[in-house]
């Protein structure tokens, strides 16, 4: 089997570290792994696959000879180094939002629009974590009937804000239980025993940037330019795994039986839907694995063409790192 020289830009963050783990889990054919970070981390040594790897300083010349670079850095870093990565001849699979809506950059969830991978010009974008979970959950349903619109509420874990999010939640829970004051740093308000109904900056018509991603990215991934999405994003005191409540409106609504059967057969999904037995997707059950759990499938009582469901998925794995590695797998499998 051909081996590939792989780099990870932003290797010391939570998504970068997860990428390292998933490359091993999925037995990706890596001949060399190069880890790139800022001056603060450059020179440190980490273990991977039983051997030490020294973290390198990201620079324009650092990517020469690489085949694939997985991006786990912020937008400004991705924009800064993307031209150098492409010039070096590597394919840049980027997890930031820097390139997601560019017309010449495919935005890919392999189970949904994997064929778009091969239209790249050196850059492939990884969608937003909640978008990945949502479109994986509903992809099989759009095969039954075109989806016209979605009303969504997301319940996003603190780890979606980076490694400092879970630390802040733990510290605040401990402080509250001891009757001590809480000092928010990562989040604008206390997150322990609280909900914060804003993720991202104000963008348009009272919606935030995070909320609009589900519409714009969903349109591109699903190839549904007329799709309309009304979304509310909420930060919740959950460590890991995002949850979404989705109400879908179809041209001709499938039955609940048809929807359950389609999701049960859908790649990347697991049907967990038995209300009578107390079986439904939950963050604790979906953490540290790659399937999107789907359940609570039921008719929308306000619209005869509507269907409601609830889904959960690990936003660090399937919502970020695993999806990027799956894109890389499509690339190398398409070569042969």
CA distance 272 to 282: 10
27 pLDDT above the threshold of 50: yes
pLDDT at 39: 87
Confidence of residue 336 (pLDDT cuts 50, 70, 90): very low
* 131-315: CATH class: alpha beta
- C-alpha–C-alpha distance, residues 175 and 211, integer Å: 31
Residue 335: what pLDDT?
65
In the structure, what pLDDT confidence band is assigned to residue 1 with cuts at 50, 70 and 90?
confident
Contact 309, 135 (CB under 8 A): no
Radius of gyration of the CA atoms of the chain, in A: 20
pLDDT of residue 204: 83
Active site residues: 129, 242
56-57 and 123-125: which strand pairing?
A: unpaired
- Residue 268: both structure tokens together: 């990347």
- Residues forming a β-bridge with 71: 9, 94
Q: Where in the chain is the domain with CATH 3.30.360.10?
A: 131-315
Domain with CATH 3.40.50.720 in the chain: 4-127+320-335
> Domain 4-127+320-335 classified CATH 3.60.15.10?
no
Return the half-sphere exposure (C-beta side, CA atoms, 13 A cut-off) of residue 290: 19
Q: Of 97-106, 147-156, 303-312, 326-335, which range is least confident?
A: 326-335
**Average confidence score pLDDT of the chain:** 96
pLDDT at 334 over 90: no
């Amino acid at each position: 089997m051909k081996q590939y020289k792989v780099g990870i830009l932003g290797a010391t963050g939570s998504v970068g570290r997860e990428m390292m783990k998933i490359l091993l889990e999925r037995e990706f054919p890596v001949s060399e792994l190069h880890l790139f970070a800022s001056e603060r981390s450059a020179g440190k040594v980490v273990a991977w696959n039983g051997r030490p790897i020294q973290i390198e300083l990201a620079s324009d010349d650092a990517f020469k000879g690489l085949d694939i670079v997985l991006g786990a850095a912020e937008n400004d870093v991705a924009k800064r180094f993307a031209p150098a990565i492409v010039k070096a001849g590597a394919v840049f699979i980027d997890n930031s939002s820097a390139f997601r809506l560019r017309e010449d950059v495919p935005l890919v969830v392999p189970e949904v629009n994997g064929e778009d991978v091969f239209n790249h010009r050196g850059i492939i974008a990884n969608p937003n974590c909640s978008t990945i979970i949502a479109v994986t959950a509903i992809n099989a349903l759009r095969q039954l009937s075109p989806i016209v619109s979605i009303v969504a509420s997301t319940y996003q874990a603190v780890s979606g804000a980076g490694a400092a999010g879970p630390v802040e939640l733990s510290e605040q829970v401990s402080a509250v239980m001891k009757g001590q004051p809480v000092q928010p740093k990562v989040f604008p308000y206390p997150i322990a025993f609280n909900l914060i109904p804003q993720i991202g900056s104000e963008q348009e018509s009272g919606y935030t940037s995070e909320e609009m991603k589900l519409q714009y990215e969903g349109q591109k991934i699903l190839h549904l330019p007329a799709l309309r999405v009304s979304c509310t994003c909420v930060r919740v005191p959950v460590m890991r795994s995002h949850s979404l409540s989705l109400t879908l409106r179809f041209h001709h609504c499938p039955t609940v039986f048809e929807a359950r059967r389609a999701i049960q057969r859908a790649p990347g999904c697991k049907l967990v839907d038995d209300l009578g037995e107390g079986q439904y997707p939950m963050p604790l059950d979906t953490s540290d694995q790659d399937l999107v759990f789907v359940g609570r499938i039921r008719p929308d009582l306000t619209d005869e063409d509507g269907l409601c469901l609830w889904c959960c998925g690990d936003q660090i794995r399937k919502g970020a790192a695993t999806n990027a590695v799956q894109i890389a797998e499509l690339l190398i499998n398409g070569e042969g």
